[in-house]
Each structure stands twice: as C-alpha cells, then as structure tokens.
Structure 1
Amino acid sequence: MTKNELKKYVEALIAAPSCCPEAKDAGEKYLAALGTEEEAAAGKNLLAELEMDITTIDDLLAMLGSDAGKQFFGEEKAAAMTVHAEEIKAAGAKYCDCPACAAAEVILNNRDVVLA
C-alpha cells in the first residue's frame, strides 16, 4: 500500500460517524503533517490512538449484551448488531466492522507505511 492509498483510509476514518473525537483529531493531524518534518510524530500518535480505540469483536459483543449497550443502541438494534457481530466473528473477524474500526484496522495493518 502506498501513502496515497493509506491517506484514503485516514480520510474514511475521520469521516466515519463512529469515529471518536480523539481518533478524528489524530487523523486530521496526521493528514496535515504528511510531507512535513512532523509526519513521523503524527504517524506514531495516530497509531497509538487507533491501538487504544479499535474495538475487538469480543469487546463489541460484551458491550452489545450489556445494559449500557442496550440503552445506547436500543434493544432491537443491539440484538441485530449482536447477530451480525457473532457472524463476522465466526468468519474470523477480530475487530468491529463499523466504518471507523474497519479503517483503523487497515491503517494499523499498514503501520510500516504510516511510519515510512
């Protein structure tokens, strides 16, 4: 993957409704730093933030089954999301597949490009 290709995933991360403010900020700072002497530090910061923020499939399932998850999403949506999460886990997924986590997984899997 090239930096230009990776940039699209950072942009997708930032645009994702499920992206937390901290990851959005780290992504924006990384994009602003591309091609500058600040790029390496911004890249390290982005990777560190995404490592903290990406949701494992097991954490997602635990949250969806909790009272807080049912309150946040509503019982019906939490149940539907649980079915989906169990399906993707059975297919081998390690992480939530919401737009933010999906982009974060690609970015983290290409850390060598971020740090190059």
Structure 2
Amino acid sequence: MQYLLMLFSEEGAWSRMSQADQQRGVAAYQAYTQALKEAGVWVGSNRLQDTGTATTVRLVEGKSQVLDGPYIDSKEQLGGYYLIEAPDLDAALGWAARCPGASHGTIEVRPVWAMSGTSAA
C-alpha cells in the first residue's frame, strides 16, 4: 500500500540555521532518501517552495476563486513529502519516525486511496 509522508516544519527555520547545520540537514535527508530507495519502498519525493508561492483555488457558487498564499496560516507549513510503498501502517510509521523532519517538525502519514482501475496499491 502507498503512504504519503507529509513533512511539516516552521518555514523560516532553515534560513536561520548556520551553513554547517544546513549542510548536515541536507546530508541527513540524502541519507534518508537513499535508505528508502535501498529498502525498495521509495516511490517519489520532493521539497516544496515556500508558502509565499502558493495559490489557492476554490469554487464559490460555481465560479472559481483564486487567492494568493496558503490555505491556512499555521506555525508549521507543508514543506515536502515522500511517497512510499509499505506493507502496512506500522511499517510506514517506522519510516516516518526515521525521517530527519521528525526531529524538528511533524510528519503526517496518510494512506493513499487507490482509485479503482489504477495500478496504485
């Protein structure tokens, strides 16, 4: 089954880190991604641009409304994700606990709802 690991953290924290801490952070995420790949569970991952680049779209009375910015203001923002293939929720939670982001933010784990007629598990 596929699980989406959504990485939430304080968006401005990265820019306040020293260059050395940023390099350690990058190395930690590279090692984590490599471990996922070597275990055969990695499906995809990406870092997201800052929330200032977000655009929100919703329908109001049948007409689209486009707004700049994120859907909600909060202390932690969605900064990236990993899509993994795991046998069950416990395995997905184990991978989430190993994610470097768990030490400075929150990892939300959510099963992917497979659409009928698709190859996603």
TM superposition score normalised by structure 1:
0.24
Name the structure with the higher strand share.
2
- TM (norm. structure 2) is 0.24
Higher helix share: 1
Structure possessing the higher radius of gyration over alpha carbons: 2
